[in-house]
Structure 1
């Protein structure tokens, strides 16, 4: 099992729009493609309160590649994402890393 940690840095004031997009649009597409979210977090104390951090769970890198690429190229998803950004951009920058558990990690 591997986990993917993603941090979305929003344009000023656009975190509510990103949260709304995840709740009303993105999660439905993820369900369609079998993408498994572990959790979502906003920053209470830290560098910026305009970030959304989330984690996904994958069986393998191959599973990630297949499912993420299918989701990312879905024409309906691309259209919905464009609609939510018609007024202005939501996410300015994305950080992404793939994590593998240590031998002593309680989460595997």
Structure 2
């Protein structure tokens, strides 16, 4: 995905790590399909979420699980991006489709901050 398009100081930057667990593999596969085929990835790109990675957890106690990380200039920038995401007409349409209902059993969000010596 490349180097994030951010210009603010590292001390203000925020990284957001999100994981979406499903009760079963079938339910998790549905969320992953929504993310890929439903083009949530494209929506994140269009809205400038600065993706670090998108991935599917293949080992560990939190499977099945979709995980991704995005980064923002600061907390206010992060909040503004999520407000834009939630109010986006495409997201509203996609998330209302019957085939994509109830496809997450647990969402865990972790915020991370770079150190003074971090490159990005």
Are 2:109 and 1:96 aligned?
yes
The structure in which a higher percent of residues are strand is: 1
Runs of 4+ aligned structure 1 residues displaced above 4 Å come to none
Q: Structure 1 74/107 Cα, relative in aligned 2: closer, same or farther at 3 Å?
A: same
> Residue in 2 aligned with 1:14?
27
Aligned-pair CA distance for 1:39: 0.6
Distance 2:21 2:88 in 1: 23
- Matched residues, number: 105
User: Residue 16 of structure 1: CA displacement?
Assistant: 1.6
Counterpart among 35, 54, 75 of residue 49 in structure 2: 35
Give the alignment's TM-score, normalised by structure 2. Answer: 0.75
SS at match of 1:67: helix
Instruction: Check 1:82–1:107 CA distance in 2 against 1; reply closer, same or farther (3 A cut).
Output: farther
Q: Secondary structure at the match of 1:91?
A: coil
Q: Structure 2: which 5+ runs fail to align?
A: 1-12
* TM-score after normalising by structure 1: 0.83
- Equivalent of 1:23, from 22, 32, 36? 36
Aligned to 2:100: 85
The two structures, once aligned, show a CA RMSD in angstroms of 1.8
Counterpart of 1:70? 84
CA distance in 1, matches of 2:79, 2:111: 12
1:56 counterpart SS class: strand
Q: Which residue of 1 aligns with 2:10?
A: none
